[in-house]
Structure 1
């Protein structure tokens, strides 16, 4: 039996600036995931620190600073997606963290570019178009950080209403 989950996806500034929001959202919807929350946000320093609280501890100050600078350079689109095993399915659709390791057919494999504007360490962390929650507990915390309960919707899609 599959578990219905909710997970957070952030279309990062590079995805927004390249005009990929619709195409990337389509990938998730085509996979049967339902959008139950969506917003655009300009991340400030305080919100960035709250979202990436563990990044500095895990990877150091320079990686955190590069990520924070990148994430604050323009608006992002945050999505809450719902579906069967949503966390694992979104991670599969997005591809591996490092764009050069992502398979064709994944978002990062198809759309991420290597940029000489970033050092290799910075590029691998930030210039990969999408953030996706890493596990169910992380997804729950991230959804609560980004969205109030009044910003999330419960509804049935046509496919859910007419499923046999």
Structure 2
């Protein structure tokens, strides 16, 4: 359920990467290759919960979500396959939001109304907290730095089909 960049930075050995947006597009196709032994994993559990709901709507109601996601897995010192290190999206959001607020606040001294950019960003972050979504995080996940190798859904489905045979 993680972005390709997140997955390639650290993942559980033997796991498959199916980003949440890809899963939504291919959930009916995936349903034919999954059973109750599937554990959905993301960074903290939020996206995996969304994936569980999407797959339940496609007819797979008994899937599990790894409580606490990769953060909990790594905290428990369980095995992890590591790749190129990247900043977490949450850290990138904090950097982008903090820098924007700082710059707009400083610019507000010279340019009247510039501080309102920071105010708008604060409103967006409050909305993100209330709705448990993050538009800025979704936008940052689209940057080349965060993409990593594209998730190959056909290869994942092929492997799942071969494993079930």
Q: Give TM-score, length-normalised by structure 1.
A: 0.30
Greater strand fraction, Structure 1 or Structure 2: 1
Larger RCO (alpha carbons 8 Å, 6+ apart): 1
When Rg is computed on C-alpha atoms for both structures, the one with the higher figure is 2
Greater helix fraction, Structure 1 or Structure 2: 2
